[in-house]
Amino acid sequence: MALRTIASLDVKRLEILDVNGVADKALMPKVSDKLLLEMYRLMYQIRAFDERAILLQRSGRLGTYPMITGQEATQCVPPLALKPTDWVVPTYRGGGVYFARGMQMRDALLYWAGDDRGTRFPEGNRDMIFSIPVGTHLTQVAGLAWGQKFEGKGGVAVTYCGDGTSSKGTCTRR
Ligand SMILES: Cc1ncc(C[n+]2csc(CCOP(=O)(O)OP(=O)(O)O)c2C)c(N)n1
């Protein structure tokens, strides 16, 4: 039988900043220098926090800690577009979202050390604490969005999930 292509995959990537740190001006999003700086500060904060937390975890002072590094931009940019009254429900790997929403790093450390005081959110924020079970929070966010619809005041509900959440286990067929 002749060799034939029966499927192919095309993956595209848009690169605004090259490996030398030079930005393509034509592709630059229209955001102020102040906002760009805030995004950079938050991304940097996430990495610094990650490094510290993993050291604490490896030395037995935090019970567990899921690293965020690699997902900094997806974590800190969307929350900057939200109002405090919007809802955000991150996954366990979503602590960067809280930093963008004003949570203090000491509170995040308390949480991962097993202290309930670490779930404090800034006054007025409607965030929910991390979802440790994967996938279950998607239905909760749909409910929160539905509630906002009933309230009739507008607003959004944001959540995140990984590919391991949306995929199916291998042992479902017996
Ligand atoms: C309901 C439920 N089933 C199983 C698990 C065990 N579990 C922990 S992490 C994980 C994989 C999640 O992958 P992904 O959503 O891609 O997130 P990642 O940790 O890779 O960022 C699973 C299945 C869980 N936390 N919750």
The residue ranges of DSSP E strands in the chain, in sequence order, are 87-89, 157-159
Is the pLDDT reported for residue 174 higher than 70? no
Cβ contact 92:130 at 8 Å? yes
> Which residues have CB under 6 Å of ligand 1?
93, 132-136, 161-165
Please compute the mean of the pLDDT values over residues 79-102 and round it to a whole number.
Answer: 91
**17-21, 68-72, 128-132: which has the minimum mean pLDDT?**
128-132
Check residue 171 and give its pLDDT: 60
Nearest partner of 94 among 83, 81, 108, 104, judged by Cα = 108
Cβ contact 100:80 at 8 Å? yes
Q: Whose CA is nearest to atom 26 of ligand 1?
A: 133
Residue 131: exposure state from Cβ atoms within 10 A (0-12, 13-18, ≥19): buried
Q: Which atom, in ligand 1's list, is nearest to the CA of 134?
A: 26
Q: Whose CA is nearest to atom 12 of ligand 1?
A: 164
Check residue 74 and give its pLDDT: 93
C-alpha–C-alpha distance, residues 66 and 153, integer Å: 35
Say how many C-beta atoms besides its own lie within 10 A of residue 94's C-beta: 21
Give tens-digit pLDDT for 63-76.
889 999 999 999 99
Q: How far is the CA of 93 from the centre of ligand 1 (A)?
A: 10
The residue ranges of every structural domain in the chain are 31-164
Give the residues across from 88 on adjacent strands.
158
Is the pLDDT reported for residue 90 higher than 80? yes
The CATH number given to 31-164 is 3.40.50.970
Nearest partner of 67 among 53, 85, 88, 86, judged by Cα = 53
Give tens-digit pLDDT for 30-80.
999 999 999 999 999 999 999 999 999 999 999 889 999 999 999 999 999
Q: Whose CA is nearest to atom 15 of ligand 1?
A: 162
